[in-house]
């Protein structure tokens, strides 16, 4: 696995986590 691939995977996981967090915040606004 190249360094560039690792960067893409890391960025993808980070973006996915952020997206999931935003969707969860929209679905459950009472938690925030």
pTM beyond 0.85? no
> What does the pLDDT look like over 1-32, one tens digit per residue?
688 999 999 999 999 999 999 999 999 878 66
DSSP 1-32: --HHHHHHHHHHHHHHHHHHHHHHHHH-GGG-
pLDDT score recorded for residue 29: 73
Alpha-carbon distances of 21 from 7, 11, 12, 27, 29, rounded to whole Å:
21, 15, 14, 10, 11
């Amino acid at each position: 696995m190249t360094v560039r691939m690792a960067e893409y995977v890391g960025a993808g996981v980070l973006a996915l986590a952020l997206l999931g967090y935003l969707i969860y915040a929209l679905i459950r606004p009472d938690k925030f």
